[in-house]
Amino acid sequence: MRFEKSVEIQAPRQRVWDVLSDIEAWPRVVRLVEVAEVVSPPPLARGGTVRLREHRLPEGLWDVTSWNAPVSFELTQRAGGVTTVARHRVDALDGDRSRLTLDLEMRGLMVSIVGVFFRKSTRNHLAQQAEDLKRAAENTP
């Protein structure tokens, strides 16, 4: 099961990347993120680990499975028979504009059961996260 949300942002790619990749600031930027902590030694890179908790979701550890600054990164979590891969990508557009794409893929035996219950909320969470990150990037000097 896969979900994707893209938004255009009136800010250069580097500014969007700076907001997106500052994961520990997410609770101040993204309304649905309650806890965001890098638990591996800095700097955050492939092989690192992040602790996240979003509104109405259990706290979990996410492995950084890809880190391609200033373009993209990927976080992966394995829990309860489901592997979830969260991809974050920033593409430069013409002028000082960018496109942020958030992609969430769930795989595993339990996806068909879990997906029924979380489909609508997952779409809503991605849309809210994208809009909050957009607002933060556009309002960062």
pLDDT at 62: 98
Q: Are 50 and 27 in contact (CB under 8 A)?
A: no
Tell me, what CATH number does 51's domain have? 3.30.530.20
Residues 10-35: tens digit of each pLDDT: 999 999 999 999 999 999 999 999 99
Residues 43-58: tens digit of each pLDDT: 999 999 999 999 988 8
Other CB atoms within a 10 A radius of the CB of residue 40 amount to: 13
Scan for tokens 């997906």, then name that residue: 115
Q: What are 107's two structure tokens? A: 């795989």
pLDDT at 56: 84
Question: Which domain range does residue 72 map to?
Answer: 2-138
The CA distance from 83 to 110, in Å, is 9
Q: How many independent structural domains does the chain possess?
A: 1
Q: Are 84 and 76 in contact (CB under 8 A)?
A: yes
* Stronger pLDDT, 141 or 24, i.e. the higher one: 24
Residue 61 pLDDT exceeds 70: yes
